[in-house]
Structure 1
Amino acid sequence: MLVHNRQDKMNKEEESHQPQARISEGDDEEVESEEDEELKICQVCGDRATGYHFNAMTCEGCKGFFRRAMKKLNSSQCLFQNACVINKSNRRQCQACRLQKCQSIGMLKELIMSDEDVEKRRCQIKRRKMKMTPIPLSPHQEDIIRQLLKAHKDTLDMTCSEFSQFRPLCRATMDKNSKHSEDLDSSSLSSSFSTMEEMNQEEKRQKKSIFTSLSHISDMSTYMIQNVINFAKEVPAFRSLIIEDQISLLKGATFEILLIRFNMFFNENTGIWECGPHNYTKDDVARAGFQHHFVDPLLKFHYKLRRLHLDDVEYVLMQALALFSPDRPGITQFKDIDLYQETLAITLKTYIDSHKAETGKRLLYPKIMACLTEMRTMNEEHTKQLLHIHDVQPEVSPLMLEVFSNC
């Protein structure tokens, strides 16, 4: 009686072994086809089979039975001369004949995995499922994103309404030795002069101007720099740093943050920065004095970044990653800044994994990180050329010189 109770318990255990929870040790790889969709029969007991297990087509119950029987030291004996007929209803009654049937259809002990291998396989499956299921943002990460988005929206006017207050953009091509100024566009300052004397003074000023769009670009850059500073000051993690580190971070990152912000205005189809009613081309950058070995990579970078089609969260996390760079010159709170940058990087990766479709997120994170690295090289070239421009035509604002020099 005790033997029958123990046997019934074992049979219940094997019957409760569901396919979705199994470790497919020793299974042949299943390739589904139209024929595979037909009902498969267990070659041991005639029940519905779930695939090839240990070299034979069997059900989950016979698969589990064979694994356990092969691992047991003692062997069971048949009470009926080893002639039992094994089927779905009586397969529990004689272990000896059931095992003999398993071996006769080709099930192999050599394909049974060890307990250690089974555990490894189980862990692999668990990790695979975890990778397939995106990890949601933690409350702390969501709080970081809320802080950054608020700071971003408070300090970036997408209408660019303030741009109309800057000195007008002159698109004339000026030459150092020219005797006459070129005709100015409709936004020229000449339209605002009330007397001929004032017009003559403006002509004289234009004759001296080699970089005709520099005054407007300088005003615009100064305004945008002020907004970047205000953005940083709204971030609690930035305010917690000592003032010297705040200055070092801003000096190092302002150009990179400006690039990211201006990319939000960039039209990848036309190659134009559409800042509200104001449109800018790479020629406007060149007329401000920047040379082709800065302007060409600049335009190429904007195409590359814009084609990633980032949303506001990704843009703002990218700005924060540029800001909190622990390797900027003069940094003293290295560990604090490095830890926060790591937190930002993990937040960005988690956001992409949990919010982007599978096709769009696979390479997005490394591409963003590559853009952050690329901006470092452009940063150095921008500073070099800006200082040269100011030497030739001193119209670069004091704030620009302070932020971009010695960064």
Structure 2
Amino acid sequence: MSFINTQLQPFCQDFTIEDNEEEEQTDDEEPKFCGVCGDLAKGYHFNALTCEGCKGFFRRAIKRSSPLQCPFLSKCIITKNNRRSCQACRFRKCQTIGMRKEMVMSEEEVQQRRIKIRKRRLRDTLMQLSAQQEKAIEELLTAHRNTFDFSHFKDFRPMDITIASPIDLDQFMNEAYDPLHSHRMDICAPAGITSYDACLLFPSSSPSPSFYFDKDQTKGKTTVFTALPHFSDLGTYMIHDIIRFSKSLQAFRSLTIEDQITLLKGAMFEIMQLRLNMVFNAKTSIWECGPNSYYKDDVMRAGFQSVLVEPACKFHHTLRNLGLQEEEYVLIQGISLFSPDRSGVQQHHLIDQQHESLALVLKTYIDSKRSGPEKHLLYPRVLACLTELRTMTEEYSKQMLQIQDIQPDDISPLIKEVISKDT
């Protein structure tokens, strides 16, 4: 209540309502004159073009308890100079030009209007970004721009595109898989693929079998996750950038090292997806990462299953279609990073304060910078996307651990550290 009173106080001082009816101002440059006394008129009042003086007079006359009487012959000519001489004839002239008494508001209506005006002014003030909020956005923007550039992603292992696509392999395994046996089976290769033997692996945590095959028995086993080395390099590259992004924020640096690690591990997948969404082409469903482009089949060839890939693609379409601005993207990254509900967080109060502060900045930014009726739905839609990201994070960690069990040498130590459960 004290916060509201503080905000309202500037509006309560020297605040008067000059008029208590809806006015229609004239925008023409040509001067207009009052229909009652001939003085300069600034707009329509009570349904007639009048000056400010006759507007106030009509309002007061309507509220009088006693009737007005002309001391002469009720034929007074009202002018700017003598309009105060005869109230009765002036009032009659007001009615003659069309001023309507039913348009004069009661005292109760005046008070209600005053409250509405104060609330509107307060809302308009709260919708403006403060200097501190502007500074928070600038800090996030600077940190983001200094740590988000796929053009430097060059020293990576290329994706092996000579082996069947994930769709081919799924079809192949459905045809070849015998649920009664989990041992090696001799099977024929799909059309266009060199003959090989397949070996099925059944991780206990996975409802569906993960597998690898012998590309050449003389050279040893090659996993089916042919794009995994490349995506491991890409993920490592992005993790380094996100760490630098986080370390650029003063509020993050002020936390203990333990909480910094906890927040980074908890938000890493979410921030990666938010950044990837900024380069996602919703029309082609392709992530355009500088000189490299990726489609969802590439992600599946890295070992990720459709239970994660399909919701992720839907998420990227949904978020991208919101048409977020760069400022909104970086604020969402900050909100995700400073999540006080991450398991193992110690400085909960400080992190919660930063989380709430950034959420308010995002809400204020949308209210002050956006236009149109859709802006009122943008903030809750963004929050819904963050909730969806949190759900996908759990599935991502689960699948990464499965992939690591099958193909551990192709997962970088940094990624292993991020997906590890211990802090």
**TM norm. shorter chain > 0.5:** yes
- Cα distance in 2 for partners of 1:359, 1:294 equals 33
Q: 1:84 is matched with which residue? A: 76
- Cα distance in 2 for partners of 1:283, 1:213 equals 10
Out of 404, 411, 422, the position equivalent to 1:396 is 411
Q: Shift in Å at residue 297 of structure 1?
A: 1.5
Q: Secondary structure at the match of 2:220?
A: helix
1:112-142 superposed Cα distances (whole Å, 9 cap, x missing partner)? 3234532432443465467678955333223
- Cα distance in 2 for partners of 1:370, 1:279 equals 27
1:206-260 superposed Cα distances (whole Å, 9 cap, x missing partner)? 2xx1322222222221232232222212211011122332222122211000001
Q: Shift in Å at residue 94 of structure 1?
A: 1.0
Map 1:101-180 to 2 at 5 A.
Answer: 101-102=93-94, 111-125=103-117, 127-128=119-120, 136-159=128-151, 161-162=152-153, 164-171=154-161, 172-173=163-164
Whether contact under 8 Å (1:84, 1:94) holds in the other structure is yes
* Structure 2 residue 283 is matched with structure 1 residue 269: yes
Q: Shift in Å at residue 103 of structure 1?
A: 5.7
Q: 2:19 is matched with which residue? A: 23
Q: Shift in Å at residue 324 of structure 1?
A: 0.9
Residues 362/83 of structure 1: CA separation in 2 closer, same or farther (3 Å cut):
same
Q: Secondary structure at the match of 1:78?
A: coil
Q: 2:221 is matched with which residue? A: 205
* Structure 2 residue 255 is matched with structure 1 residue 241: yes
Q: Shift in Å at residue 347 of structure 1?
A: 2.3
Residues 49/148 of structure 1: CA separation in 2 closer, same or farther (3 Å cut):
closer
Aligned length: 362
Q: Shift in Å at residue 359 of structure 1?
A: 7.8
The one-letter code matched in structure 2 to 1:367 is R
Map 1:60-79 to 2 at 5 A.
Answer: 60-72=52-64, 77-79=69-71
Q: Secondary structure at the match of 2:346?
A: coil
Whether contact under 8 Å (1:211, 1:287) holds in the other structure is yes
The one-letter code matched in structure 1 to 2:56 is G
Q: Shift in Å at residue 377 of structure 1?
A: 1.5
Q: 1:371 is matched with which residue? A: 385
The one-letter code matched in structure 1 to 2:61 is A
- Cα distance in 2 for partners of 1:41, 1:83 equals 21
Q: Shift in Å at residue 179 of structure 1?
A: 7.9
Map 1:213-292 to 2 at 5 A.
Answer: 213-292=227-306
**What 5-or-longer segments of structure 1 have no aligned partner?**
1-20, 184-198
The one-letter code matched in structure 1 to 2:19 is I
Q: Shift in Å at residue 165 of structure 1?
A: 2.2
Q: Shift in Å at residue 182 of structure 1?
A: 4.7
The root-mean-square deviation of aligned C-alpha atoms, in Å, is 3.9
Q: 1:305 is matched with which residue? A: 319
Out of 28, 33, 51, the position equivalent to 2:44 is 51
1:18-62 superposed Cα distances (whole Å, 9 cap, x missing partner)? xxx85352x5x9799xxx999998664466584361x76755432
Whether contact under 8 Å (1:156, 1:227) holds in the other structure is yes
The one-letter code matched in structure 1 to 2:155 is Q
Residues 265/203 of structure 1: CA separation in 2 closer, same or farther (3 Å cut):
farther
Whether contact under 8 Å (2:25, 2:42) holds in the other structure is no
Q: Shift in Å at residue 89 of structure 1?
A: 4.8
1:67-112 superposed Cα distances (whole Å, 9 cap, x missing partner)? 1234456766533244423355532221233234446777665653
Instruction: Report percent identity of matched pairs.
Output: 52
Q: 2:201 is matched with which residue? A: none
Q: Shift in Å at residue 290 of structure 1?
A: 1.4
- Cα distance in 2 for partners of 1:153, 1:46 equals 63
Whether contact under 8 Å (1:210, 1:393) holds in the other structure is no
* Structure 2 residue 341 is matched with structure 1 residue 341: no
Residues 243/116 of structure 1: CA separation in 2 closer, same or farther (3 Å cut):
farther
Q: 1:186 is matched with which residue? A: none
- Cα distance in 1 for partners of 2:24, 2:148 equals 56
Q: Shift in Å at residue 400 of structure 1?
A: 2.5
Larger deviation: 243-252 or 75-84? 75-84
Q: Which has the higher strand share?
A: 2
Larger deviation: 134-143 or 267-276? 134-143
Q: 1:293 is matched with which residue? A: 307
Whether contact under 8 Å (2:37, 2:79) holds in the other structure is yes
Q: 2:5 is matched with which residue? A: none
* Structure 2 residue 322 is matched with structure 1 residue 332: no
Whether contact under 8 Å (2:231, 2:302) holds in the other structure is yes
Whether contact under 8 Å (1:320, 1:344) holds in the other structure is yes
Q: Which has the higher helix share?
A: 1
